[in-house]
């Protein structure tokens, strides 16, 4: 019943040093677009054919949840799914939903289920039970939702019952995760029955480009949100989701970052296909950061290409990465090849993702010889004279595994090394075939 095919991974992968990278990679579908599209299609009137949907752990849990809720969908082929929307009504009023570690599944579903009402339990892997959800639950309970914590207050698991929602105006904090605002926005048309619903953001809003993805996809499903800067968002009464008929999922711009960085470090050109200059994903701006580091970037409608600059040495960077928290992890590893210390600022949200990424990143970069200063919300990375071979722990975090594969690359300033990546199966969260794709751009045997 799940879409993702089971794949077998070894306990660790040993990467040989890579002398040169070059080639083209077709990206898997965007996780952020896939999971939003699945939920919007389920809530819409009519059937939606979704092309190039991501097949990974995060979409598998969303598809499984929709099926448990009584939403019908079928797989046409490996990359195409048809979801039969049920117009904002869920056939099953009771369900136990396993959400893995997918923030893009549990947060939007919590809001939608709390508004629709029923008897639902949402839980996930142990790390999911340490990832905050209190700001979203507070926003929903303040307008009449019934949500209980069955474990630690502020964290999943959750039990959602039928509440009495009266939401003309609601507010949510935006400084821990933008996914809470995304969740409320996607549920807002279900609340805007006979009156408008305004959502005010309290304090700072992080990861803003992800809100743009949400608004863009809601618009494609027929609901326009009125926006007052980043401070408040209004859905007018009577707006309902309607299927656009068919929708195409862009390639994942965060997944693109590993290949673009590879091209920038290891010669290139490396081209990614599936995202381009018109992408709706903020993470395409990762290419701008690489450009600042001296890489040569070219962009087409549906592709981006990176290669090393004229002297081949990456320039150190000091920048705010709040807008691209996921792709910024790739910059942290690219910084190993830079001509001086790099500073990644305003990335406190790293602490509450798949692992505490500030701490994990600092620990693993040090194994390769870097000097790392770990602040509350920043990392300062000074590359070593020479990179050391290392065994990298991945903390059940797909991005740790994917980023650190880059340290096998030969750069102009520093040579790559044999890298052992422990527990490579964690890449299945968003990119089950990552290591095959990485091997396809290595111009010597990788394994």
Ligand X SMILES: C=C(OP(=O)(O)O)C(=O)O
- The residues binding ligand X (CB under 6 A) are 101-104, 326, 353-354, 399, 430
Find which of ligand S3P, ligand X, none residue 102 binds, CB within 5 to 8 Å per kind.
ligand X
Summary count for the chain: helices (H), strands (E): 12, 23
- Residue 311 annotated in active site: no
Among 194, 203, 138, 141, which residue's Cα sits nearest to residue 168? Answer: 194
Q: Where are the alpha helices (DSSP H) in 98-228?
A: 103-116, 134-141, 179-191, 209-220
Does 58 carry a binding-site annotation?
A: no
Contact status: 182 vs ligand S3P (CB under 6 A): yes
Count of residues that bind ligand S3P according to CB under 6 A: 13
Locate 225 and state its tokens. 């949100």
**3-state DSSP helix/strand/coil % of the chain, to nearest 5:** 35, 25, 40
Q: How far is the CB of 103 from ligand X (least distance, A)?
A: 3
- Minimum CB separation from ligand X for residue 287, in Å? 18
Tokens of 91: 């056939």
In order of 22, 35, 271, 273, 433, the CA distances from 440 in angstroms are: 9, 28, 12, 14, 11
Residue in 64, 59, 84 with CA at minimum distance from that of residue 245? 84
**Hunting for tokens 């990176």 — which residue is that?**
306
Beta strand pairing call for 80-84 and 379-382: unpaired
177: contact with ligand S3P by CB under 6 A? yes
Q: Which is nearer to ligand X, 18 or 211 (CB)?
A: 211
User: What's the N-to-C CA distance of the chain in angstroms?
Assistant: 33
Q: Which of 326, 364, 410, 423 binds ligand S3P (CB under 6 A)?
A: 326
Return the residue of 37, 56, 110, 178 that touches ligand S3P, per CB under 6 A.
178
The span of 65-73, 154-162, 204-212, 222-230 binding ligand S3P (CB under 6 A) equals 204-212
What residue has token string 């991945």? 394
- Pick one of 34, 48, 104, 394: the residue that binds ligand S3P (CB under 6 A): 104
Residues annotated within a binding site: 31-32, 36, 103, 131, 177-179, 207, 326, 353, 357, 399, 429
Residues annotated in a binding site for phosphoenolpyruvate: 31, 103, 131, 179, 357, 399, 429
Residues contributing to the site for ligand S3P (CB under 6 A) = 32, 103-104, 177-179, 182, 206-207, 210, 325-326, 349
Residues annotated catalytic, as ranges = 326
């Amino acid at each position: 019943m799940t879409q993702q095919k089971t794949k077998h991974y070894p306990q660790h992968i040993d990467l040989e040093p890579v002398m040169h990278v070059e080639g083209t990679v077709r990206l898997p579908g965007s996780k952020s677009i896939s999971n939003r599209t699945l939920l919007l299609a389920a809530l819409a009137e009519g059937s939606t054919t979704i092309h190039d949907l991501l097949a990974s752990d995060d979409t598998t849990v969303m598809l499984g949840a929709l099926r448990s809720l009584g939403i019908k969908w079928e797989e046409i082929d490996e990359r195409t799914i048809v979801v039969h929307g049920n117009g904002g009504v869920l056939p099953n009023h009771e369900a136990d939903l396993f959400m893995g570690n997918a923030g893009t599944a549990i947060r939007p579903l919590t809001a939608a289920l709390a508004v629709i009402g029923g008897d639902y339990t949402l839980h996930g892997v142990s790390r999911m039970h340490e990832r905050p959800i209190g700001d979203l639950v507070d926003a929903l309970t303040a307008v009449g939702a019934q949500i209980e914590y069955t474990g630690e207050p502020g964290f999943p698991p959750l039990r959602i019952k039928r509440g009495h929602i009266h939401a003309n105006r609601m507010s949510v904090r935006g400084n821990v995760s933008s996914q809470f605002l995304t969740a409320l926005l996607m549920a807002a048309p279900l609340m805007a029955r006979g009156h408008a619903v305004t959502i005010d953001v309290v304090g700072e809003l992080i990861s803003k480009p992800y809100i743009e993805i949400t608004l863009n996809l809601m618009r494609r499903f027929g609901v326009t949100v009125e926006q007052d800067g980043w401070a408040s968002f209004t859905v007018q009464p009577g707006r309902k989701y309607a299927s656009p008929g068919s929708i195409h999922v862009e390639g994942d711009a965060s997944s693109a970052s590993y290949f673009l960085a590879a091209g920038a470090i290891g010669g290139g050109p490396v081209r990614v296909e599936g995202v381009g200059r018109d992408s709706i994903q903020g993470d395409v701006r990762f290419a701008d950061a690489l450009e600042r580091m001296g890489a040569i970037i070219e962009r087409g409608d549906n592709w981006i290409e990176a290669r090393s600059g004229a002297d081949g040495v990456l320039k150190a960077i000091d920048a705010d990465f709040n807008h691209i928290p996921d792709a910024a992890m790739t910059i942290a590893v690219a910084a190993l090849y830079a001509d001086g210390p790099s500073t990644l600022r305003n990335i406190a949200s790293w602490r509450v993702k798949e692992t505490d990424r500030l701490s994990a990143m600092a620990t693993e970069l040090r194994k390769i010889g870097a000097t790392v200063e770990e602040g509350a919300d920043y990392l300062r990375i000074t590359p070593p004279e020479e990179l050391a071979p290392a065994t990298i722990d991945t903390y059940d975090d797909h991005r740790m595994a994917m980023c650190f594969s880059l340290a096998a690359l030969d750069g102009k300033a520093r040579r790559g090394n044999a890298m052992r990546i422990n527990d490579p199966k964690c890449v299945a969260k968003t990119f089950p075939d990552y290591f095959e794709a990485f091997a396809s751009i290595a111009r010597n045997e990788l394994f």
